[in-house]
Amino acid sequence: MRKITRKWFGSMMAVCLAASSLAACGGSSGGAASTTAAQAETTTAAQAATTAAESKAEEEPKSDSKEGGYKIGWSTIYLTPSWMQETSGLMDACIEKYKADGVISEYSIANADGDTSAQISQIENMIAEGYDAIILDAGSSDALNQVVEKATSQGVVVVNFDSLVTTDKVTCRIGTSDAEYGRLCAQWLVDTLGGKGNIIVFSGPAGVAVSDGRESGAMEILEQNPDINIITTLHSEYNSAPAMEVLNPVLDANEVDGICALGGSLASASLTAVLDKGLDMIPICGENYNGFLRQWSDLVDDGFESFAVCQPNWLGVLAVEQSIRILNGEDYDQDVVVPIPAIDNNNLSEFVPNDYSDDWYPIADITEDQIQKYLTPGA
């Protein structure tokens, strides 16, 4: 359990510690890609999140916070992938509620477009511009450590979610276990293949913390099974088009018994490629990417079975919530690990059919009880 003290808080800290917590910004998973329909979905989810937060605010008194409000930035390695767009929509709804309450005065997003050096520079700028807190989705588990340490040494709260850094100087990390994500997928594939077969490991961009963590966890399981032959390990952006480009040549040149896809769009691209080539159906694990879930659902009657894990988009909401709590002087745990939800043939019908676009990531709404459970120290 930790507590942070900002130099400019002075005697206000005693008031903050005594006050009750701010209303949480829960809601359904929102955001979208570039299509108009997806944008509409984002607006709907954002409105729902705001409504839920306003309702909660009516029930609870506000905590005292910095006069004039906090200046908060989000530094993300990517913003283009649909998962990030959905996450951004949820965070926006939460931020807007806090702006309306005067808790946040300014919020900005810095998108590094996959360039870790650019992300470091953007964080440096946020430090220089006097941000109170930086919410971070890291492009590298270790390359950002130095700039994170610089930020926290100057009193900036750094709350890291999803793709995590390794430095112990970060204020707080919030996420699932990337390694566990990989282990769950790999174990399902091993079990489904009866412990033997030729497989492809299909991971996200190399060098990105979340991708590396998932791949490491998968390899931990696969290496324990000597009759599982890894034909190759592929890397791609988390988008279907580039994923198809790197996968097709491997499918053309090899007899493949299964694909360990460590991302939703990677799983969708894998299943599409198998179907397009008229190949025998093979087991493919994945993520709660709506396009993949729909493909899977359409093939259930043909005997297709799969397994998908969920990386909750509302981790970003937890990061916003935690930033405010820490800035207000509340106690907190440095590491918050959220359980990984999973989908199989038994509960697939809870997620599809739905009215969302293919690049949506369906997941159960985060509740106020969950927010309190995950962020309460020692819970």
Reported as a pLDDT band with limits 50, 70 and 90, residue 2 is: low
Residue 345 lies in a domain: no
Question: Are 71 and 104 members of one domain?
Answer: yes
294 shares its domain with 316: no
136 and 245 share one domain? no
Residue 185 lies in a domain: yes
Query: What residues contact 10, with CB distance under 8 A and at least 6 apart?
Result: none
Residues 133 and 234 placed together within one structural domain of the fold: no
Report yes or no on 347 lying in a domain.
no
366 falls within a domain: yes
Residue 235 belongs to a domain: yes
- 60 and 127 within one domain: yes
Q: How confident is the model at residue 10 (pLDDT cuts 50, 70, 90)?
A: very low
Q: What is the average per-residue pLDDT within 312-341?
A: 97
Q: What is the pLDDT of residue 26?
A: 55
More confident residue, 9 or 269: 269
pLDDT band at 23; cut points 50, 70, 90: very low
Is residue 57 predicted with pLDDT exceeding 70? Answer: no
Same domain, 197 and 278: yes
> Of 28-37, 97-106, 204-213, 315-324, where does mean pLDDT reach its minimum?
28-37
Q: What is the mean pLDDT of residues 314-336?
A: 98
Same structural domain for residues 172 and 54? yes
The whole-number pLDDT of residue 63 equals: 45
Instruction: Give me the domain span that covers residue 250.
Output: 178-309
pLDDT above 70 covers a percentage of the chain that reads 83
> Quick check: is 189 in a domain?
yes
On whether residue 190 sits in a domain, the answer given is: yes
Q: Which tens digit of pLDDT belongs to each residue from 33-49?
A: 333 333 344 444 444 44
Q: Are residues 185 and 245 in the same domain?
A: yes
Tell me whether residue 89 is in a domain. yes
Are 114 and 65 members of one domain? yes
Ranges 47-56, 58-67, 231-240, 259-268: which has the least confidence: 47-56
pLDDT for res 66:
72
Q: What is the pLDDT of residues 213-261, one digit of tens each?
A: 999 999 999 999 999 999 999 999 998 999 999 999 999 999 999 999 9
Total domains in the chain come to 2
The CATH number linked to 47 is 3.40.50.2300
Does residue 286 register a pLDDT over 50?
Answer: yes
pLDDT for residue 11: 35
Across residues 295-318, what is the average pLDDT? 96
- For residues 161 and 37, state if they share a domain: yes
Same domain, 92 and 187: no
**Do 280 and 326 fall within a single domain?**
no
Question: Given a cut of 50, is residue 355 above it in pLDDT?
Answer: yes
Higher pLDDT among residues 377 and 365, named by residue: 377
The pLDDT confidence band at residue 25, using thresholds 50, 70 and 90, is: low
Percent of the chain with pLDDT over 90: 77
**Predicted model pTM:** 0.76
Task: Give the pLDDT confidence score for residue 48 in this predicted structure.
Answer: 46
